[in-house]
A = this chain, B = another copy of it.
Amino acid sequence: MTSIKNKFTAGIFALFAILIFATPSLAQSVDVNSALNSTLEAIGATASDAALENGATPEEATSAANDAISSIVAEVFGDRDAKIFNTLLFLIGGFLVMWMAAGFTMLETGLVRKKNVSMQALKNIALYSIAGLMFWLIGYNVMYGGEAGGFIGSFSPSNFPEAGAGTAEAGYSVASDWFFQMAFVAATASIVSGAVAERVRLWAFLAFTVVLTGLLYPITGMWQWGGGWLSELGFSDFAGSTLVHSVGGWAALAGVIFIGARNGKYGANGMVTPMPGSSIPLATLGMFILWMGWFGFNGASQLAMGTIADVADISRIFANTNLAAAAGAITAMILVQLIYKKVDVTMVINGALAGLVSITAEPLTPSVPFALFIGAIGGAIVVFTIPLLDKLKLDDVVGAIPVHLLAGIWGTMIVPLTNDGTSYVTQLIGISAIGAFTFIASSIVWLILKVTIGIRVSEEDEALGLDKAEIGVEAYPEF
């Protein structure tokens, strides 16, 4: 047996040597490979010993050892690559969703009036920064550090494996998952930023962002993606029509109600004074950035890329996501042409985004015609509900509520149409529970801020524009 073992050791050394010289990482290979080596040796020996103890012939033992080693070789490279692919998916998806922060910023600076553009830019830089900080400080563990079926996770900062530690037990690196999830919470806060634009006080908004990104979003997120009670119930929300978009929408709705409409927006007799945005090209750019980022948002929500099935599903998600957005845009365009005789481009922008939000709850199972249908209804929703909100004197500057809240509800409710494992009732329960929690909690936060530091700038500052009043820097200064 020793000779077999020696041969084995020699073989493993060969394998080891090959790996060292062939695996082109710079620093860590040695550690990886020495681990690999001893593992292979142990496995081979164990298998062979086990076979002998069971009365196998030496040949059978050799064969058992080799089988075990073959399988571990397969595992090592198959598994290594799968984990790299999974992590890479989070990294690529992560930078794409991070990029959506720029998309929201361009969309929103384009849709606010010239005098509030710098403020909108500042708010969105700040909220993205805060989202990262808060999601590290407590958010991630509130969301993912809980028990199955639970309501809330734990309160502690995130911890990433040391440099070079190279653990990826979950099938991907923890930090890549954190990064990807962090970009989602930032998107939620961006939604609120647009709705309450042009009159919210900077520091009040930022205080709200702290609570939203550290606590509110992670709590409802825990219910589903953190493995909490909703996920046990069978609720289904693939990439966050409800968990991200509606949550942002509910928080925005509470904000809009407590802050009130911009001065002059609503006159007597239901008269509405439109306040056209400062730059259509920037709003358009924002939409394209968001559209691009959504491939990360939905695609990487597959959460794995290490098998052909996974990557094929991601491809399917890309196609469906793109086509739902297209259907949303085209539907909105046709509807505004029919209703208003002119094609308000801001409605088309919102239509595309509503298509994207609608497909987000289930971008995988629908066949293309269903994806088109889901996106098209999303586009129709914005065309019909934007004026409706004005009737209710809910002054949502960029259309965040129709796009993210209403299309988000639609997208979540329609999941059972194409996904057999889900039920309309459960979807409704999830939407209601998350909606109720977020709306009530947000209202409380807005209320507290209102009675303490105040959430609205003075009438004079609002007339002057927030850029002059709170920033001191005009967005487009003149002579």
| Copies of chain A in the complex | 3
Cβ-defined contact, B105 with A40, below 8 A = no
- Tell me the A8-49 residues at the B interface (CB within 8 Å): 8, 10-12, 14-15, 18-20, 22-29, 31-33, 36-37, 40-41, 44, 48
Q: Which of chain B's residues have a CB closer than 8 A to the CB of A477?
A: 276-278
Cβ-defined contact, B345 with A122, below 8 A = yes
- Tell me the A127-186 residues at the B interface (CB within 8 Å): 128-130, 132-133, 136, 157-158, 160-161, 163-168, 170-176, 178-179, 182
Residue of B nearest to A20 (CB): B309
For the complex formed, measure the closest distance between the CB of A94 and the CB atoms of chain B, giving whole angstroms: 7
Cβ of A207 within 8 Å of any chain B Cβ, yes or no, is no
The tally of residues in A whose CB lies under 8 Å from a CB in B reads 176
Residue of B nearest to A55 (CB): B3
Q: Which of chain B's residues have a CB closer than 8 A to the CB of A315?
A: 87, 90-91, 160, 173-176, 178-179
For the complex formed, measure the closest distance between the CB of A456 and the CB atoms of chain B, giving whole angstroms: 17
Cβ-defined contact, A171 with B27, below 8 A = yes
Cα A94 to Cα B364 with chains together (Å)? 18
Residue of B nearest to A164 (CB): B309
Q: Which of chain B's residues have a CB closer than 8 A to the CB of A394?
A: none
Cβ of A232 within 8 Å of any chain B Cβ, yes or no, is no
Cβ-defined contact, B475 with A281, below 8 A = yes
Q: Evaluate whether A303 and B25 lie within 8 angstroms (CB atoms) in the complex, with A285-B106, A308-B166, A372-B133 already known.
A: yes
Given A33-B75, A281-B282, 11 further pairs, Cβ under 8 A: A15-B67, A18-B75, A24-B309, A32-B79, A77-B81, A118-B345, A122-B348, A125-B284, A160-B315, A173-B311, A280-B475
